[in-house]
A and B are shown apart, each in its own frame.
Chain A
Amino acid sequence: MVKIEKTKFYGIFKVDGNLATVNLVPGEKVYGEELIKEKNVEYRYWDYWRSKPAAAIKNGLKILPLEKGMNILYLGIANGTTASHFSDIIGKEGLIYGVEISERPFRELLPLVEKRGNIVPILSNARKPEDYEDQILGKVDLVYEDVATEDQVEILIRNCEKFLKSEGFAIIAIKSQSIDVTRPPKEVYDECLQKLEKHFEILDKVKLDPYEKFHLFVVMKSKK
C-alpha cells in the first residue's frame, strides 16, 4: 500500500515520504523520475537533487505561492525539469511562460510543452523583456527566476516591473558563485536581499545545501 499525504502546499504531496506532484500527462516521465499510480491518480516524484523548489521544501520552506490556474513567468526554464512540476500544479487552466536563452536545453523543452499544453516556450534573453512582451498575454501572478547570472537580481526586477501583477509574487534562486566567487556567500546574499527589499516584501527564504551549493531560495511579494 502506497502512503499518500498532503503537504501544506497546494498540489504537492508526499508519496511514501517522497515529494510528488500529480502527473498532468499520465505515463510520461520528464527527467527519469519515478511514477507511482494509486487509486487512478498518477504521481510524479519531485527530485530535490534536481529541482530547487523541491530542495527548498525539503529544507523547511514555509511559503510557496503556487496554485491551480496561475500564470507564471519563468526565467531560465532550461529543459523544463522544474517547470514540469509547476505545470502539474497549475493544471490545464494555468500558463507558464518559459524564457530560455540557450537553444540547447530549449530543444529538449519543446516536446514537453506540446504534450503539456500549459507552457509557452520563449527563446529569448531575459535581459531584454521588450523582445518577448508580445508573446505574454497580460500580467502574471508569479515571476520565478533561476538564471544563475551575475545580474540575476536586476533581471528579476526588470521583468517584474514589466510583467508582474500588483501584489504578485516573485521567487528567485540566488547563486552566490555566479554573482561573485571571491566573496563569502552570506555577504552576496545580504547585498541581493537589500536590493530586492526595495521592491518586494520578503516572505520566506532558505538555503539549498546540500542539494544545491551556494544557493539561497527567496520567496517574495511585490510592494506595488
Chain B
Amino acid sequence: MALYKVKTFIGIFTIDDNKKVISFSPFPKDPILVASRLKDEVDEAPEEIENFLKENLLRYALEYKFVKNQAEFNQFLTEVNSEIAKQKIKEIVSRDVLIIHTNNAIEELDKSINIFIERLREWYSLHFPEMDKVIEDHKTFAKLIEKFGNRKDIDDKRLNQFKEKSMGIDFTQEDIETVKALATTIIKLYELRERFSNYLSKLLKEIAPNFSVIAGDVVAAKLIAKAGGLERLARMPSSTIQLLGAEKALFRFLKSKEKFKSPKFGLIYNHPLIKSAPKDKQGKIARLLSSKLSIAARIDYYSKEYKADKMKKELEERVKEVLVAKK
C-alpha cells in the first residue's frame, strides 16, 4: 500500500491509498513560517488524494484541534495567503519600473520647464524685449539672465547692439534679482533632466539592452512606460507596439471609419528611420521597425543575450530596400 505525504497550509498529512490519514504533523501557527514552508517542493500525490484533503481540511483541522472553529480556520487561511502574496509582490516588482518612473519624471520636467521658460521670456521681455527673438535656445536664454541680470550688464555679441536703444523698461535691483531666481531654477531643472536622462540610459542598457539600441533610448523608454513594463511589451504582438501611443487616433478612426485615417504609428514615429522617410514609405518602415522591436523586447525579457548590432544592421538594410523600391 502506497503512502503519500501531502502538504497543506495547516501541516503535513501522511495518507494512504484509501484516503486514510495515518498521521498529521501540524505547522506552527505562524503565517510567515507557513508561507515559506509551502514554497518547498514535495513529491506529488495523486490529484484525487490532494483534492480529498483539500475538501476535508476544515474537518481535519477541527479534529486535530488545530483550530477551534471555522472562523479561526478562515482567518488563518487568509493570513497565510496574504503572506504568500506579499512575498510574490516582492518578486514581481522588477527593475523595469525604474525606467517607467524615470521616463515619466523626464516628461513632467519637460512640461514644467516649458511653462517656466514661457513665463521667463515674457517677464524678461518687459525689460529687454529684443532678446526674445535673438536668443532662441531656451537654456541659453535662462543662462544669460542668470549670469548678467540687468540688460546693461549683458555681454554677448548677438545682443550688444540692442542694449542701448532697447524699448524695454528699467528694472530695479529687486526686479532683476527676482526674475534671476526664476532663471536659476530653470537651469537647475535642466540639470536634473540631464541627470535623469543619463540614469535612464544606464537603466536601459541594463534592462533592455537590445530593445534600446534598436529603438533609441528616448523611444525605448517611452514605449516601455506606455506598455507598463518590459514583460507586457514582450507579450505584445508587433502590430500593437507599432500603434502604442496612438490609442486616441485609433479610437477616433474606429468610431467613424470614413472621416479619419487609420493611424500608422504611435510613439515609434519619433524614431529617425521613420521620421526621415518619405510619407508614402513610413507605414511600411513602421511595420519593419515594430517587428524588430518586438523580437528585441522578447530577447531582453527572456535572456538579454546581446544581438542588437546584428539586428540593427538587418533592419537598416531592409529599410534601404524599401526606400529604393519604386513602390
Q: Which residues of A contact B (CB under 8 A)?
A: 92-95, 103, 106-107, 110, 113-114, 116-123, 135-139, 181-182
Question: Which bucket holds chain B's interface residue count?
Answer: 20 to 34
Give the residue name and chain of the A residue nearest to B47 (CB): A133
Complex Cα distance, B255 from A103, in Å, reads 32
Q: Which of B57, B71, B251 contacts A92 (CB 8 A)?
A: B71
Q: Which of B57, B81, B86 contacts A122 (CB 8 A)?
A: B81
Contact with A along B251-277 (1 / 0, CB 8 A): 100110000000000000000000000
Is there a chain A Cβ closer than 8 Å to B126's Cβ? no
Cβ contact within 8 Å between B79 and A114 = yes
Distance in angstroms from B228 CB to nearest chain A CB is 9
What is the number of contacts between chain A and chain B, taking CB atoms within 8 Å? 65
Cβ contact within 8 Å between B74 and A113 = no
Cβ contact within 8 Å between A103 and B92 = yes
Cβ contact within 8 Å between B85 and A121 = yes
- Given A103-B89, A114-B82, verify A181-B254 contact (CB < 8 Å): yes
**Which residues in chain B, 25-78, are within 8 Å of chain A measured between CB atoms?**
51, 54-55, 57-58, 70-71, 74-75, 77-78
**Which residues in chain B, 213-243, are within 8 Å of chain A measured between CB atoms?**
none
Residues of chain B within 8 A (CB-CB) of A118 are 74-75, 78
Complex Cα distance, B57 from A53, in Å, reads 31
Shortest Cβ-Cβ A-B pairs, 4 listed: A117-B75, A92-B71, A138-B55, A120-B81
Q: Which of B58, B77, B89, B93 has most chain A Cβ within 10 Å?
A: B77
Complex Cα distance, B254 from A113, in Å, reads 42
Residues of chain B within 8 A (CB-CB) of A139 are 55
Residues of chain A within 8 A (CB-CB) of B58 are 137
Complex Cα distance, B55 from A181, in Å, reads 42
Residues of chain B within 8 A (CB-CB) of A122 are 81, 85
Give the residue name and chain of the A residue nearest to B251 (CB): A181
Residues of chain B within 8 A (CB-CB) of A136 are 54
Cβ contact within 8 Å between B70 and A92 = yes
Extra contacts, 17 of them, besides A120-B81, A123-B85, A181-B254 (Cβ < 8 A), are: A92-B74, A93-B70, A94-B74, A107-B89, A110-B86, A113-B78, A117-B74, A117-B75, A119-B78, A120-B78, A121-B85, A122-B81, A135-B84, A137-B54, A137-B57, A137-B58, A138-B54
Distance in angstroms from B157 CB to nearest chain A CB is 55
Distance in angstroms from B318 CB to nearest chain A CB is 32
Cβ contact within 8 Å between B74 and A110 = no
Q: Which residues of B contact A (CB under 8 A)?
A: 51, 54-55, 57-58, 70-71, 74-75, 77-79, 81-82, 84-86, 88-89, 92-93, 251, 254-255
Residues of chain A within 8 A (CB-CB) of B89 are 103, 106-107, 123
Cβ contact within 8 Å between B82 and A113 = yes
- Given A93-B71, A137-B54, A182-B254, verify A106-B85 contact (CB < 8 Å): yes
Distance in angstroms from B130 CB to nearest chain A CB is 52
- 10 contacts across the A-B interface (CB closer than 8 A): A95-B77, A110-B85, A117-B78, A121-B82, A135-B81, A137-B58, A137-B77, A138-B55, A181-B255, A182-B254
- Given A92-B71, A103-B92, A138-B55, verify A110-B78 contact (CB < 8 Å): no
Complex Cα distance, B79 from A110, in Å, reads 9
Q: Is chain A's binding surface mostly helix, strand, loop or mixed?
A: mixed
Residues of chain B within 8 A (CB-CB) of A107 are 89
Cβ contact within 8 Å between A114 and B70 = no
Give the residue name and chain of the A residue nearest to B228 (CB): A102
Residues of chain B within 8 A (CB-CB) of A182 are 254-255
Cβ contact within 8 Å between A121 and B81 = yes
Complex Cα distance, B255 from A121, in Å, reads 39
Residues of chain A within 8 A (CB-CB) of B254 are 181-182
Q: Which of A92, A93, A110 contacts B82 (CB 8 A)?
A: A110
Give the residue name and chain of the B residue nearest to A69 (CB): B70
Give the residue name and chain of the A residue nearest to B58 (CB): A137
Distance in angstroms from B262 CB to nearest chain A CB is 12
Distance in angstroms from A56 CB to nearest chain B CB is 27
Distance in angstroms from A150 CB to nearest chain B CB is 13
Distance in angstroms from A46 CB to nearest chain B CB is 22
Distance in angstroms from B183 CB to nearest chain A CB is 39
Distance in angstroms from A43 CB to nearest chain B CB is 21
Cβ contact within 8 Å between B74 and A93 = yes
Give the residue name and chain of the A residue nearest to B79 (CB): A114
Cβ contact within 8 Å between B82 and A103 = no
Distance in angstroms from B190 CB to nearest chain A CB is 32
Give the residue name and chain of the A residue nearest to B8 (CB): A137
Complex Cα distance, B250 from A182, in Å, reads 11
Residues of chain A within 8 A (CB-CB) of B78 are 113-114, 116-121
Residues of chain B within 8 A (CB-CB) of A119 are 78
Complex Cα distance, B77 from A114, in Å, reads 10
Cβ contact within 8 Å between B82 and A117 = no
Give the residue name and chain of the A residue nearest to B92 (CB): A103
Complex Cα distance, B85 from A110, in Å, reads 9
Complex Cα distance, B54 from A181, in Å, reads 42
